[in-house]
Structure 1
Amino acid sequence: MPKPRSTQVSLEDTPFYHCVSRTVRRAFLCGIDHYSGQSFEHRRGWVEQRLLLLAQVFAIDIAAYAVMSNHLHVVLRIDAETAQAWSSMEVINQWHQLFKGTLLTQKFAKEEPIEAYELDSLNSSIAEYRRRLMDISWFMRALNEPIARQANKEDDCTGRFWEGRFKSQALLGDAAVLACMAYVDLNPIRAKEATTPEKSGFTSIQRRINAAANGKQPERLLPFVGNEHKDMLKGLLFDAKDYVILVDDTGRMVRDDKRGAIRASTANILNRLNIPLDNWLNITNEFKHLFKGPVGSLEDLTLYCEHLDKKRVVNASSCRHWHS
């Protein structure tokens, strides 16, 4: 039986989670149906636009994403600090960008007088909205449901568009986050939908490369803050240029099977994370097969399972050889 998301999310251990949604009934999220010849490529834009919109509404950052023909990947970071810092009005305004709320929250947003007997109900709604705005289940719901309705309308059908529930896994530590991001960004290359990261349409890596060409980092994606800013709470603790090179080198090794074709910056990142090159290639190629649950060092996994009262350490056999 599927477990509640609350038993899989532990902000005490990590704010990073990898989520995957897949379509059903041989439905096409994007791509071309080889049976009918019909193209669904325009749906990639639906998903990307919705993702980037949600990044502005939720207290959840997008670290990586890839929109594939029948599924999508996204690496999310829950920003609980931002959600807790929002004022009551900010919470209501954020929520109302996606949902109608209640008559009382609409009244509050318009700065109309609130009666004393209404305060408990209003405060309860605000507390619930604040919780939802840093909840990956609500984020994925706000992403998937509108896409499903739009696709079903276009296909002139009803019923499920997505599989029952999206899958999620905790990413414990820098190595797990970086490996999962690279795995997500390299999806089109592994699927032979693209030959290079910059040609991988509707992915975070393409967006990062395009921004880097202008000396910038992309808006609405979690930024890289570099090694020297470890005191910063929000950001990826790597250099943006080094990450792009890492993904490019890994993509060339995956595509051309040239394992020696790595640059110094790539070797430096892997050395810093204490991950041998062969392990890195195996992880970024077989991530979904190797890790069915949380990902990280055996020590991180043990703590994560203890905090969530899990009776056994899941993924222990795969993660035991992470650095070996």
Structure 2
Amino acid sequence: MTRPRKELVSVQDTPYYHVVSRCVRRSFLCGKDPVTGQDYEYRRQWVEDRIRILSSLFPIDICAYAVMSNHLHIVVKLRPDEIDSLSDKEIVNRWLCLFKGPLLIQKWQTGENLSEAQLDCVNDIIKVYRKRLGSLSWFMKCLNEPIARQANQEDNCTGHFWESRFKSQALLTEEALLSCMAYVDLNPVRAEMAPTPEESDHTSIKERLKPKFDITSAIESQKELLALRHFHSTIKPLATFEGDVRDEEQHGILFNLTDYLELVDMAGRILRDDKRGAISAHLPPILDRLEINKEEWLDNATQFEKLYLKKFARKRRRASAA
């Protein structure tokens, strides 16, 4: 018997969850259908773009993701501390990037004078928005529904695109989190879609190793999110690896990035009877394949978020100058 979502997602127990959504009848609606030959590979970029944009609006960190041909995996960390720190104005600004909102909220946002009764109504609405922005269910709703509408419009049809509501799995221990992240990042390798993790398109591990996310093209692919243009320089990077536990507040993954890459590489070489692919045993270790200088790698691993944001700031300045 199925259980209500509120019983499956509890931040008090764990902030980490593995989420899965599958296409209806597990059809290749985001890839190349081997039966018909129809190629929908570009739709995987739609999904990846939307995951990254939504993570900048919702207080949800993306630990790992893999967009496959007929399903997607996301490992998320819920951040109730972040939603509590946002002002009412920030809550409304974020919500209106996704939805038009009632006229009363639009008037409040533009600074129009409102009566006391109207302000009370506005406060009630903002409380609802704050709760929704902290909800994993609303995150997935804002991810899956627009992708389904966009694909159906392109196909000139109606009906379900996703098989059912998303499925979520609580990750209660550090071992469960790392095992699940490695499983997600290795999905294309196991499906023989890529020979190595660093060559796996539309995955978090490739984005970590070779950052290429373009917020401008992402917004263009999700045209209804034009209000997101002010997020150009503040797009949220993936959840960072923070290494050892320190005597201070930490929000990242309590593991070393180089160790995680070696874990993925080792796990990917293990042959599994139920999976087609594996990393070739003849390939050198992942850090050798990437030809990364150790000192440079340590700088990138410990300052990933700062370097990531600097890159987008420089790109934005160059675009403005042009």
Please report the TM-score for the alignment, with normalisation by the length of structure 2: 0.75
- In 2, the alpha carbon distance for the partners of 1:96 and 1:117 equals 22
1:104/1:37 Cα in 2 relative to 1: closer, same or farther (>3 Å)?
same
CA RMSD in angstroms comes to 2.3
Within a 5 Å distance, the mapping from 1:172-251 to structure 2 comes to 172-211=172-211, 219-229=236-246, 231-251=248-268
Within a 5 Å distance, the mapping from 1:1-324 to structure 2 comes to 1-211=1-211, 219-229=236-246, 231-254=248-271, 255=278
1:211 Cα deviation after fit: 4.3
% same residue: 52
Partner SS for 2:64: strand
CA deviations 1:222-243 (Å, max 9, x no partner) are 1111114363331000112221
Maintained 8 Å contact 1:29/1:44: no
Partner SS for 1:221: coil
1:252 Cα deviation after fit: 2.4
Q: Which amino acid aligns with 1:234?
A: H
Partner SS for 1:253: coil
Maintained 8 Å contact 2:195/2:279: no
Maintained 8 Å contact 2:25/2:163: no
Structure 2, gaps ≥5 residues long: 213-234, 272-277, 287-322
- In 2, the alpha carbon distance for the partners of 1:147 and 1:256 equals 32
1:104 Cα deviation after fit: 1.5
1:256/1:245 Cα in 2 relative to 1: closer, same or farther (>3 Å)?
closer
Maintained 8 Å contact 2:189/2:279: no
Q: How many residues of Structure 1 are paired with residues of Structure 2 in the alignment?
A: 258
- In 1, the alpha carbon distance for the partners of 2:80 and 2:114 equals 28
- In 2, the alpha carbon distance for the partners of 1:234 and 1:198 equals 25
1:90 Cα deviation after fit: 0.7
- In 2, the alpha carbon distance for the partners of 1:224 and 1:248 equals 17
1:252/1:25 Cα in 2 relative to 1: closer, same or farther (>3 Å)?
closer
1:249 Cα deviation after fit: 2.1
Query: After the TM superposition, which segments of 4 or more aligned residues of structure 1 sit over 4 Å from their partners?
Result: none
1:33 Cα deviation after fit: 1.0
CA deviations 1:238-280 (Å, max 9, x no partner) are 112221222122212342586xx989xxxxxxxxxxxxxxxxx
CA deviations 1:254-309 (Å, max 9, x no partner) are 42586xx989xxxxxxxxxxxxxxxxxxxxxxxxxxxxxxxxxxxxxxxxxxxxxx
1:2 Cα deviation after fit: 2.9
1:144/1:230 Cα in 2 relative to 1: closer, same or farther (>3 Å)?
farther
1:231/1:29 Cα in 2 relative to 1: closer, same or farther (>3 Å)?
farther
Higher mean alpha-carbon deviation, 130-139 vs 230-239, is at 230-239
- In 2, the alpha carbon distance for the partners of 1:231 and 1:174 equals 19
- In 2, the alpha carbon distance for the partners of 1:230 and 1:194 equals 40
1:74 Cα deviation after fit: 0.3
Partner SS for 2:63: strand
Structure 1, gaps ≥5 residues long: 213-217, 264-324
1:86 Cα deviation after fit: 0.6
CA deviations 1:181-229 (Å, max 9, x no partner) are 11110101111111100111000011111149xxxxx952111111143
- In 1, the alpha carbon distance for the partners of 2:138 and 2:236 equals 22
- In 1, the alpha carbon distance for the partners of 2:238 and 2:279 equals 29
